Structure 1
Amino acid sequence: MPFAKHALGKAPRAFRLFGAVLRVACCVLHGFATRALGLTRNPQHAARLVGVVLVVVLVGCTRSEPPADLVLVNGAEPDSLDPAIISTQTEMRIVKALFEGLTRLEGKNATAEPALAHRWDMSPNGVVYTFHLRTNAVWSTGQPITAEDVVWSWRRALDPITGAEYASQLFFIKGAEDYSTGKTNAATGKPFKPEDIAVCALDPHTLRVELIGPTAFFLDLCAFPTLAVVPRFWIEQHGDRWLLTQPVPSNGAYTLEFWRLNDRVRLRRNARHWDAANIRSELVDFLPIKSSTTALNLYETGAADVIWDKNLVPNELMDVLGKRPDCHKFDYLGTYFFRFNVKRKPFTDVRVRRAFALAVDRQKLVNKITRSGETPTSHFTPKGMGVYEPPDGWGYDPEQARKLLAEAGFPGGKDFPPFHYLFKTDKLDEQVGVELQEIWRKELGVKMELRAMEPKVYYSAQSALDYDLSRSSWIGDYNDPNTFLDMFMTGNGNNRTGWSNSIYDNLIRTANLQTDPKKRAALLRQAETLLIRDDLPIVPLWFYAGVNFFDPKKIEGIHANLLDEHPIHTIRKKK
């Protein structure tokens, strides 16, 4: 990635006051596990908690900085806070608080509402949008935000040099894909230029956008971080180090107070934000915690107020934790799956890929490992998005799996070459890998190596196609099937399988030009059939069940919704 990976204030992890150490230790040693977690007096559970006491207390600091008003367990350390190049949910939670686009998603239903644009007009054919920017929208450093800033930010996100994995979110704009992919303009015989993108500033507060066709979810896209407006004046002045130079100008509800590696990202309320009066917490800390045990103990000891992800809670405790009033479960647009590198033998053979899919008992995986109400699935796109009805993929049929593997030249797994399964260093992902390893050994007679990597290395390996099979997941960016399906189009930065199918690409493009919802759904269904049945570069396993942990008696402003979207500016501790 060409832009800054880390920002401000590098410093070693510090310690809490010694008294805090004693309080936490005593709490654990005197039956904390039983009282706080609601567990039986299980020595293994108690040992688990005692073993992480020192880890818990390491997160604090001896500096004189004030405590945060809100502390959130956020998962892995961000790789960047540049809206154009971020790609993970942990990064997006922070960036959405720092940088806004024309719209933002509200927290109750995750639908688009006005942000930098206070209103917009749409042409009768749904192709041209005219956005009217707020006259009181300014950067946190005082400079006005203009329509030209939007134009520049979107061009930057589409510039191949930027390397935005989500550049395709802008491809619904006329000329955007042509420029971003380096196509040649037939009229001039030269590559498309940034000026060929159909986005223009009519005046400092009016923006005109022309799409390639009607796009029902375009306003939702305008809330996505890739389309956020970034400070041109600051980036042109500081280049790749713009996130390293204080004070970083922001236009969101918060400003970046500091980013201390392996400790926290701290945000402060943006007093110059157009909606500053409704920002409910002054200081917010995001803790980069990967260990589910550490995350749970931070939460239980009061060092953290919210745990966003179920993966940040030990899944073996979910049978008990899931019954507590601070465990909030909800329907969620997210799919857990694994992908093949279709460029590597023997996974170049679709019969092999189908055999691996047919050998997996998804219900067993869910019952044994996840334990939070996840729904096993053979299709990739969750149900419930408009009129779309996804097709069925390959179910559980180990006998057919063995037949296909034999047809591919590997009867009983004989002569099947060594291969590995790539996953992030995460306990649940490791458990899934171990279970798949045993399933494929038992049902197909093949031997698989497990390969765990730190998140940053893992994503790099996926992008470079340096894997055989890989653990994967996808969370919908907006409530439409396209957010699940367009990522496997040729050239999409999130494809990461080596798979390319021009029929699939054309089906997606044609579907998104349709104004009839049923005709559009039929085309998308054909595309998904190619993806999860005919060509099978991926194998869906289950749909996520959304899980958040917070005490409703202490925290307000968090609402369950399909996208697990929780604007930070709406959340606060109750007084």
Structure 2
Amino acid sequence: GIDSLGVETPDDKTLVFTLEKPCVYFLDLLRLPVYTPSCVKYAKKTDSGWDKDPSTSVSNGPFYLAEYVPEQYFVLKKNPKYWNAESVKLDQITYRFFDDQQSMANAYETKEVDVAPALQSSVMKLYEGKEDLVITDTIATRYIYPNLNVKPLDDVRVRKALNLAIDRKELCKAIGEDTEPAVNLVAKYMKDKSTGKYFVDEAAPPFEENLEEAKQLLTDAGYPGGKGFPTLTYNYPSLEMDSDTAQVIQEQLKKNLNISIKLNAQELQVNYTERRAGSFDLCRMNWTADFADPYTYLSMLLSNSTYNCSGIADEKYDALVAQSDQETDPVKRGKLMHEAEQLAVGGEFYIIPLFSMKSCNLIRPRITGITQNPATGALEYRHADIQ
């Protein structure tokens, strides 16, 4: 009940949380949608549509919902009751809905919109050298889960061989300029709050690609030159970038290790359901940070995580992450998190990291002050202004 929740409101403007144990990233967690306050008078049940109706969608943010037309657009207006209202320069923002990235890029071209975020990488060539093109960091990692309950993926030598045999530079060249090779689980562009540097740059990479070593590992595991290696199936969503990725990986593993991978493109929801059920050999994963702390990544591989659907059960890893979770000294905590990542990604090879992404955005040069959300890298319009 509410009494045992550990939350108090001593006055109208104060909220006090009492935690069971230390949690250094607690304030970062509060930006998750589940913590967004909603008005109990209207927000009685999910899917009732209260949030899309301007008369019941109560806001305490910099903007409030003024109009909502399903599948077309919605309008936000400046909230005069926002605590920091004087810093908000825009009077209103209209968000338009588009079926795909191309229609959005076209709408920018024809001046129907002033900002077009997260476009396809071809935009980089079209707008090269122009002020409109703004490249931002996406705080996300695309990787593959090898299922530990499927032979021979239960053998760490095989998992390591797959990791070492993939040429990520070639892969990124083939799938788009908005991708960059990654050998970490924690997203390449996630910052370490205590140092301001990228977290992954503060430790050695978990592993380095090495084709000769990969071939040797496969031989040691009993598959010299790929002989006798079973055909594994790779499940991935039938989205353009994932299909391109799958084909490159299939080609590389055939050429480099002489092993066959069967490709299985699935509808996004089917891919998700089968992954959750652990019904796959190899499965595509993508994780965009929920909050601005490496824990959002490391927690994925914990034995009891709902996202761990590949059979990882590593007591040593769990203990390192649990320890880091309660460590309040940022330097010691950073060390523990790096140790956990090195163990999972460079010691046991529980995942096959592939790449991180950049986001191509088009923004009219007269618009200033657009910032990025520190957790996901998404564009943030709170301080935007039009010159």
Q: TM-score range by the shorter chain?
A: 0.7 to 0.9
Q: 1:463 to 1:257 in 2, by over 3 A?
A: farther
Report SS of the residue matched to 2:15.
Answer: strand
Does structure 2 retain, via aligned residues, the 8 Å contact 1:423–1:470?
yes
- Change in CA separation of 1:447 and 1:548 when aligned onto 2, cut-off 3 Å: same
C-alpha change, 1:504 and 1:346, in structure 2 (3 Å) is same
Q: In the alignment, what sits opposite 2:225?
A: 412
- Deviation string 1:449-500 (CA, Å, 9 cap, x unpaired) is 3333344443333333333323333333444322322232233344443323
Shift of 1:239: 5.5
Tell me how far 1:331 sits from its aligned partner: 4.6
What CA distance in whole angstroms lies between the structure 2 residues aligned with 1:570 and 1:371? 29
2:67 paired with 1:254? no
Q: 2:183 maps to which residue?
A: 378
1:368/1:259 CA distance change after superposition, 3 Å = same
Decide which of 234, 246, 262 is 2:42's aligned counterpart: 234
Counterpart Cα distance in 1 of 2:253 and 2:131: 39
State which of 92, 104, 111 in structure 2 corresponds to 1:282. 92
User: Using the alignment, how far apart are the partners of 1:325 and 1:401 within structure 2?
Assistant: 44
Moved more, 374-383 or 270-279: 270-279
Counterpart of 1:305 in structure 2 is: 114
Separation in structure 1 between the aligned mates of residue 369 and residue 176 of structure 2, nearest angstrom: 27
Q: Is the counterpart of residue 472 in structure 1 residue 285 in structure 2?
A: yes
**Aligned mate of 1:340, from 146, 153, 168:** 146
Q: Give me the whole-angstrom Cα distance separating, in 1, the residues matched to 2:52 and 2:371.
A: 35
Instruction: Kindly report which structure 2 residues correspond to 1:135-154, keeping only aligned pairs within 5 A, or say none.
Output: none
| 2:371 paired residue number | 559
Aligned pairs for 1:259-274 (under 5 A) are: 260=70, 263-269=71-77, 273-274=81-82
Q: Tell me, which stretches of 5 or more residues in structure 2 are unaligned?
A: none
Deviation, 1:360, is 0.6
**1:123-522 matched pairs, under 5 angstroms:** 195-236=3-44, 238=45, 240-243=47-50, 246=53, 247-251=55-59, 252=61, 253-255=63-65, 257-258=67-68, 260=70, 263-269=71-77, 273-274=81-82, 278=88, 280-290=90-100, 292-309=101-118, 312-313=119-120, 315-316=121-122, 318-372=124-178, 374-381=179-186, 382=188, 384-385=191-192, 386=194, 389-522=202-335
- Segments of 5+ residues of structure 1 without an aligned counterpart are 1-192
**Which one-letter code corresponds to 2:97 in the other structure?**
L
CA shift for structure 1 position 438: 0.5
Contact 1:379 1:390 in 2 (8 A): no
Q: Deviations over 1:315-342 (max 9, x none)?
A: 3553443433211124553323222233
**Whole-angstrom distance in 2 between the partners of 1:561 and 1:472:** 22
CA drift of 1:361 comes to 0.9
Classify 1:308/1:316 alpha carbon distance in 2 versus 1 (closer, same or farther; 3 Å).
closer
Structure-2 change in CA distance of 1:200 and 1:464 (3 Å): farther
CA distance in 2: counterparts of 1:256 and 1:443, whole angstroms: 57
Identity of aligned pairs, percent? Answer: 27
Q: Secondary structure at the match of 1:307?
A: strand
Q: Contact 1:391–1:525 at 8 Å: present in 2 too? A: no
* Paired residues of 1:476 and 1:484 also in contact (CA < 8 A): yes
Aligned residue for 1:499, secondary structure, equals coil
**Structure of larger gyration radius:** 1
After superposition, the Cα gap between the structure-2 partners of 1:438 and 1:270, relative to the gap in structure 1 and judged at 3 Å, is same
Q: State the 1:279 CA deviation.
A: 6.5
Q: Give the direction of change, closer, same or farther, for the CA distance of 1:206–1:327 in structure 2 (3 Å limit).
A: same
CA–CA separation in structure 1 for the residues paired with 2:210 and 2:251: 16
Q: 1:303 to 1:410 in 2, by over 3 A?
A: farther
Aligned-residue CA RMSD (Å)? 3.1
In the alignment, the residues of structure 1 paired with residue 56 and residue 310 of structure 2 have an alpha-carbon distance, to the nearest angstrom, of: 36
Q: Which amino acid aligns with 1:361?
A: D
The structural deviation recorded for 1:395 is 2.0
Partner secondary structure for residue 68 of structure 2: strand
CA contact (8 A) 1:423 1:452 kept: yes
TM-score by length of 2: 0.82
| 1:457–1:402 distance in 2 versus 1, CA, 3 Å | same
State the TM-score, normalized to the length of structure 1: 0.58
Q: Structure 1 residues 240 and 564 mapped into 2: Cα distance closer, same or farther (>3 Å)?
A: closer
8 A Cα contact 2:78 2:90, kept in partner:
no
Equivalent AA in structure 2 for residue 258 of structure 1: Y
Change (3 A) 1:471 1:316: farther
**What is the CA-CA distance between 1:439 and the residue it aligns to?**
0.5
Report the Cα offset of residue 527 of structure 1.
0.7
Alignment size in residue pairs: 373
When residues 196 and 491 of structure 1 are mapped into structure 2, their CA distance, relative to the original with a 3 A threshold, is: farther
Cα pair 1:330 1:561 within 8 Å, conserved: no
Whether the 8 Å CA contact 1:213–1:512 is kept in 2: the answer is no
CA distance in structure 2 between the aligned counterparts of 1:405 and 1:452, rounded to whole angstroms: 27
Residue 143 of structure 2: SS of its match in structure 1?
Answer: strand
Query: Aligned in 2, Cα 1:245/1:478: closer, same or farther, shift over 3 Å?
Result: closer
Aligned equivalents of 2:123 and 2:47: distance in 1? 44
Q: Distance in 2 between matches of 1:514 and 1:244?
A: 38
Instruction: Please give the per-residue CA displacement for 1:531-556, whole angstroms capped at 9, x wherever unaligned.
Output: 20222221222333343221213x33
The 1:464–1:295 alpha-carbon spacing in structure 2 relative to 1, beyond 3 Å, is farther
Q: Secondary structure at the match of 1:241?
A: coil
| Change beyond 3 A, Cα 1:245–1:433 | closer
Q: Does the aligned pair in 1 maintain the 2:371–2:381 contact within 8 Å? A: no
1:281–1:571 CA contact under 8 A, matched in 2: no
Q: Distance in 1 between matches of 2:133 and 2:380?
A: 19
Q: 1:215 to 1:460 in 2, by over 3 A?
A: same
Distance 1:216 1:425 in 2: 38
SS at match of 1:503: helix
